[in-house]
Amino acid sequence: MSSLQPTTQGLAVDPGALNALKFSAGQEGESGKAALKGAAKQFESLFMRELIKSMRDATQKSGLLEGQGSDLGTDLLDQQLSVQLSGLPGGLSEAIERQLSRQMAPKGAAEGSTPAGSATSTGTGADTPAEFKPLNRSGLRALLKYAPNAVPVQGSASAEPAKALQRSNASASGPRHVGFVSQHSEAAAQVARESGIPASYMLGQAGHETGWGRSEIRQKDGTPSHNLFGIKATSSWKGKVAEVTTTEYVNGVPRKTVAKFRAYDSYADSFRDYARLITKSPRYDKAMDQIGSVQGFASSLQRAGYATDPQYAAKLSRAINMTLSVQRAQS
């Protein structure tokens, strides 16, 4: 049997375990050593999370089962995987633990007073960079504030896993939609001033259409099309085109089809083209009349045939309201 077995059977989202780890960080003796090991696992878990995320981002999406629900499930799975893969023998956590041990060592030990006969004894402090200041236990507890996931003690699990998962929903999806809104806020604000369409409406619709940037339409060579609104390339379109598989609803039944979409040189061009479509096309006049209501605007777009999804108005309203929440928090 392989020796690379998961180091914990607990949940990634276990606030109780993290609180226990913070408490242990203030203790001496074996409790303090255990806290040091746990902190090292936390930081390895952060690294693993970023590694898994970069692998997900580099993978072409099929679009078959894409959506906010599946994205949340993937996020929760990746959180759990990052914890399960942390703390294995020979892993990064061992190196982090050694580094933290040196920084937290008493003054004499930090200056090279490693016990004689120790396999790691060098007789000098050369392996501790001069710019590193030794960490005390308060410093370790401060470091743990930056660990978003708890590394549970072996065999422990949250007494209320369902509630723990529910509490984690916001943080699981938060960084993505918050980052998406921040990334495109300037372009949306500029187009909002020119067109009269609220920036929050455009950002919310762009987020919904692209899964907050995760399912953006790409060209055959993998480069971004910069198409944030799923606008198709009809016969009147003279610009670049991206041809991808998409989901269309026929009589309420989802079907996969290959369609051509517009491609732009920049995201700003995508916002401008969307605003031009909504403000200049007579079919969307009623949507502009409902610009003061999120639900009214979304419902008018659906009735005008912007999308074939029968639940489009409800989904778009949720995305716009998420954007409004982000904007209020950032203001």
* pLDDT for position 315: 95
Count of residues for the chain? 331
- Identify which of 54, 76, 315 has the alpha carbon closest to the alpha carbon of residue 207: 315
What's the mean pLDDT in 254-260? 86
Task: Please indicate whether residue 210 or residue 45 has the higher confidence score (pLDDT).
Answer: 210
* pLDDT for position 10: 54
- Claim to verify: residue 112 and residue 220 sit in the same structural domain: no
* pLDDT for position 24: 56
pLDDT tens per residue across span 59-110: 656 555 566 666 777 777 777 777 777 777 767 767 777 776 666 555 444 4
Among left, alpha and beta (phi > 0; psi -120 to 50; other), residue 67 is left
3-state secondary structure of 200: helix
**Residue 44 forms part of a structural domain:** yes
**Residue 175 forms part of a structural domain:** no
- Claim to verify: residue 76 and residue 138 sit in the same structural domain: yes
**Domain CATH for 207:** 1.10.530.10
pLDDT tens per residue across span 286-306: 999 999 999 999 999 999 999
261 close to 244: Cβ distance less than 8 angstroms: yes
**Residue 7 forms part of a structural domain:** no
105 close to 120: Cβ distance less than 8 angstroms: no
pLDDT tens per residue across span 109-138: 444 444 444 434 344 344 444 444 444 555
**Residue 39 forms part of a structural domain:** yes
CA distance 281 to 290: 15
**Residue 123 forms part of a structural domain:** no
* pLDDT for position 268: 97
Rounded to 10°, the helix 161-195/267-280 angle is 70
Token pair recorded at residue 231: 């606008």
Is residue 2 scored above 60 in pLDDT? no
* pLDDT for position 92: 72
Task: Please indicate whether residue 102 or residue 162 has the higher confidence score (pLDDT).
Answer: 102
- Claim to verify: residue 193 and residue 313 sit in the same structural domain: yes
Is residue 11 scored above 80 in pLDDT? no
**Residue 8 forms part of a structural domain:** no
- Claim to verify: residue 140 and residue 250 sit in the same structural domain: no
Mean confidence (pLDDT) of the chain: 74
- Claim to verify: residue 146 and residue 225 sit in the same structural domain: no
* pLDDT for position 42: 72
CA distance 86 to 142: 21
- Claim to verify: residue 195 and residue 89 sit in the same structural domain: no
3-state secondary structure of 114: coil
Residue 40: which H helix or E strand, with range? Answer: helix 29-57
* pLDDT for position 124: 39
Residue 241: which H helix or E strand, with range? Answer: strand 240-250
- Claim to verify: residue 143 and residue 195 sit in the same structural domain: no
Residue 232 is classified by DSSP as B
Share of the chain above pLDDT 70, in %: 60
Task: Please indicate whether residue 270 or residue 99 has the higher confidence score (pLDDT).
Answer: 270
Question: 């904007």: which residue's tokens?
Answer: 327
What's the mean pLDDT in 224-230? 95
Q: Which range is least confidently modeled, 12-21, 38-47, 59-68, 202-211?
A: 12-21
**Residue 170 forms part of a structural domain:** no
- Identify which of 279, 276, 273, 284 has the alpha carbon closest to the alpha carbon of residue 307: 284
Number of domains the chain is built from: 2
| Three-state DSSP string of 151-198 | CCCCCCCCCCHHHHHHHHHHHHHHHHHHHHHHHHHHHHHHHHHHHCCC
The residues carrying an active-site annotation are 248, 273
Question: 């369902």: which residue's tokens?
Answer: 162
- Claim to verify: residue 319 and residue 241 sit in the same structural domain: yes
**Residue 276 forms part of a structural domain:** yes
- Claim to verify: residue 259 and residue 326 sit in the same structural domain: yes
Confidence band (pLDDT; 50, 70, 90) for 249? confident
pLDDT tens per residue across span 164-219: 433 344 334 446 899 999 999 999 999 999 999 999 999 999 999 999 999 899 98
CA distances from 257 to 40, 246, 287 (A): 48, 6, 27
- Claim to verify: residue 187 and residue 313 sit in the same structural domain: yes
* pLDDT for position 36: 66
- Claim to verify: residue 189 and residue 314 sit in the same structural domain: yes
Q: Which domain holds residue 39?
A: 15-116+133-151
- Claim to verify: residue 213 and residue 264 sit in the same structural domain: yes
